[in-house]
Chains A and B, each alone.
Chain A
Amino acid sequence: MKQVPEEISVADPDLDPETWLDQYGDYLYQFALARIRNKAVAEDLVQETFLAALHGRKSFKGRSAVKTWLSAILKHKIVDYLRNKRREQVINDTDTVTETVDGFFHRNGSWKIRPGKWTLDPSKIYEQREFMDTFYKCLSDLPDRLSKAFMLREMEGYSTKEICNALQVSSTNSWVMVYRARMFLRRCLELFWFKKTKDENR
């Protein structure tokens, strides 16, 4: 065993990358594998996650549990991966999602594409791998910055101020971005999940 200088060992085992690997390597791998059913890709994403964490650990400062922090990084990696993969498959995929929500409304501001009725049983939804697949697919359908803004806000619980810093936008901008993301995500789930299951259940 190498002798570690006192102040480093006391400093924080939370900030030691090798400890992360020992403690959370399996968990992150399982997590990646659940979303991307490809072992090699899952391994790569886990490695990228640890490297990103290594570079970003100064800004981490224990704002959440290490495990939560690492999973958050991994989730961003997964969404990025899915987005890039689809770009390769579909040529001419210029952000299928338009940047505004205007298309959802008539000019007088009433709904044009009305929110449908969702019958959901949360306890059931949580057990369905396909549902999570759909959700991540929808996240990766969003333009990069919109999915980032949404994930920072809803998955990581960033405040407006933190989002503004992370994405270099104004407060108003950040609210609009998250609003758009919410609008498109709920529409995407409606199209690819709720409609589908309703038909199947009939």
Chain B
Amino acid sequence: MSHWMFNCKEVSRRISESMDHDISLYQRMLIRMHLLMCRYCARFRRQVLFLRELCRSRRLDESVLDTSVNLPPDARERIRQALKP
């Protein structure tokens, strides 16, 4: 059986994991080497990093807000009542 560093499925899983916890320097080096050889895993990495950027950017959600509309008064009152202890 060949080493995981030649296996895109294993590499992509480790790329994802490296975004969620620290992985060893050794593993990171192997991933780097794989990425030099494999453009699909390189794309995968860029894309999941883009997803992260997307989620963390407040600009994203707020750029499409219509700030001229407000919560209608009757809805506001209803919610206020619902929040009463």
Contacting pair B63 A17 (CB below 8 A): no
- CB of B51 within 8 A of chain A? yes
Q: Which of A34, A43, A51, A189 contacts B64 (CB 8 A)?
A: A34
What is the CA–CA distance of A31 and B65 in the complex, to the nearest angstrom? Answer: 6
Interface centre among B6, B47, B79, by most chain A C-beta atoms within 10 angstroms, is B79
Complex interface: chain A residues within 8 A of B12 (CB): 179, 183
- CB of A155 within 8 A of chain B? yes
Complex interface: chain B residues within 8 A of A120 (CB): 50
Contact-size category for B: 35 or more
The smallest C-beta distance from A163 to any residue of chain B, in angstroms, reads 9
Q: Could you tell me how many residues of chain A have their Cβ less than 8 Å away from some Cβ of chain B? A: 58
Contacting pair A154 B63 (CB below 8 A): no
- CB of B71 within 8 A of chain A? yes
What is the CA–CA distance of A29 and B75 in the complex, to the nearest angstrom? Answer: 10
- Residue-by-residue, is A92-103 near B (CB-CB < 8 Å gives 1, otherwise 0)? 000000000100
Complex interface: chain A residues within 8 A of B69 (CB): 26, 29-30, 33
Q: Which of A39, A47, A71, A155 contacts B82 (CB 8 A)?
A: A47
Chain B contact residues, CB within 8 Å of chain A: 6-10, 12-13, 16-17, 20-21, 40-41, 43-44, 46-48, 50-57, 59-61, 63-67, 69-72, 75-76, 78-80, 82-83
- New contact pairs (5) apart from A129-B64, A179-B13, A186-B47, CB-CB < 8 Å: A117-B43, A118-B50, A126-B59, A132-B64, A179-B17
